[in-house]
Each structure stands twice: as C-alpha cells, then as structure tokens.
Structure 1
Amino acid sequence: MSSITVTVIDREGNRTEGVDWKSHESLMEALTRHKYPILATCGGNASCSTCHSYLDPASFAKSGEIGDEEEDLLDMLDDTRHETSRLSCQVEWAEDLDGAEVTIAPEW
C-alpha cells in the first residue's frame, strides 16, 4: 500500500506537516482517520459539503475534475467558497498530491 504526506491546517490555524494519506483513501477519509473535525455527514457521497476544504493552488490543479454534484454543493457555499475549494470526499489519492497543503474550511 502506497502513501503520501500532506500538510493540514485546521480551523484554528494549526499547521501539521507529514500527515499520511494512504492510497485506498479519499482525502476526507485520511482527514477523518487523523481525527480532524470533518463531519462527513453523507459518508463521502458528495451530498452534504461538511468536508469542504481548500487546496493549495498547485495541488488544486492536480486534484482532478470537479463533478456536477460537487459543483452544485460548492455553489451553495457562497460565504466560504474559494477558487481552490473542494469537497475532500471527492479528492482521490494521487502521487501528484504528495506535499499538498489542505486547509479545512470554516463550518457553515
């Protein structure tokens, strides 16, 4: 099983480097495994937006296409959506994301 590491910035601004992300996990699953406060109410089905996060611009460009369901949910997050917003449940593991910086979005 392969893994990469990412840097996570929590809602209080605390930065943790070297957070491991295993190849069989979505980003949301890696964050919840490390006990970050991601509700994941829908269980990773892109239907709740409780796993909203921001990626650094370079990693956002490598994170894959945003599907219609994810786009619809992100559109509802007017106050907290940024150019690099993603639902972490929809970000699949990829070696290219090694070293990514992930900021957990504010709760809405």
Structure 2
Amino acid sequence: MSSINITVIDREGNRTEGVEWKDFESLMEALTRHKYPILATCGGNASCSTCHSYLDQGSFAKANEINDEEEDLLDMLDDTRHDTSRLSCQVEWSEDLDGAEVTIAPEW
C-alpha cells in the first residue's frame, strides 16, 4: 500500500502538514479518516457537495478531471466556488498529488 502526504487547512484556518492519504482512498475518505468535519451526506457519490474543498493551483491541474456530475454540483455553489474547487469525494489518489494543499470550503 502506498500513501502520500498532503497539507490540510481547516475551516478555522488551521494548517496541518503531513496528513496521510492512502492509495485506496478518495480525498474525502482521507479527510474523514483524519476527523476533518466533512459531512459527505451522499456517501461520496457526487450528489450533495458537502465535501467541497479547494486544491492549490498546481495540484488542481494534476488531479483527475472533473466529470459532468461534479461540474453540475459545483455550478450550484455560487458563493463559495473558486477556480480550484473540487468535491473531495471525486478527487482520486495519485502520487502526483503528494504535497498538495487542500483547503476545506466553508459550510453553506
């Protein structure tokens, strides 16, 4: 089993480096395993947007592409959507994301 380390910034602005993300997990699963307050109401099926997060620009470019379902949900997040918004349940593990910076979006 492989893993990478990411930096997570929570909703209060607290920054934690060295958060482990295992290769069989989505980003949402890694965040919830580390007890970050991600509701994941839909269970990771890209149908609720409660796992909305922001990736740093470089990691956003390296992450798997946004599919139509994710794009539709992100389009509904007018107030909190940024250029690097992702649903963390849809971000797949990749060695290329080692060192990524993930900011948990505000609750809506």
Calculate the TM-score normalised by the size of structure 1: 1.00
Q: How many Å apart are 1:24 and its aligned residue?
A: 0.3
CA distance in 1: counterparts of 2:33 and 2:90, whole angstroms: 16
Task: Return the letter of the residue paired with 1:94.
Answer: S
Q: Which runs of 5+ in 2 are unaligned?
A: none
Q: How many Å apart are 1:76 and its aligned residue?
A: 0.2
CA distance in 2: counterparts of 1:64 and 1:58, whole angstroms: 12
Q: Across the two proteins, how many residue pairs are aligned to each other?
A: 108
1:40 and 2:40 are equivalent in the alignment:
yes
What does the per-residue CA deviation read over 1:71-106, in whole Å, with 9 as the maximum and x for residues that have no partner?
000000000000000000000000000000000000
- Percent of matched pairs sharing the same residue: 89
Q: How many Å apart are 1:33 and its aligned residue?
A: 0.1
Q: Which runs of 5+ in 1 are unaligned?
A: none
Counterpart in the other structure of 1:31: 31
Calculate the TM-score normalised by the size of structure 2: 1.00
CA distance in 1: counterparts of 2:65 and 2:50, whole angstroms: 19
Shift >4 Å, 4+ stretches: none
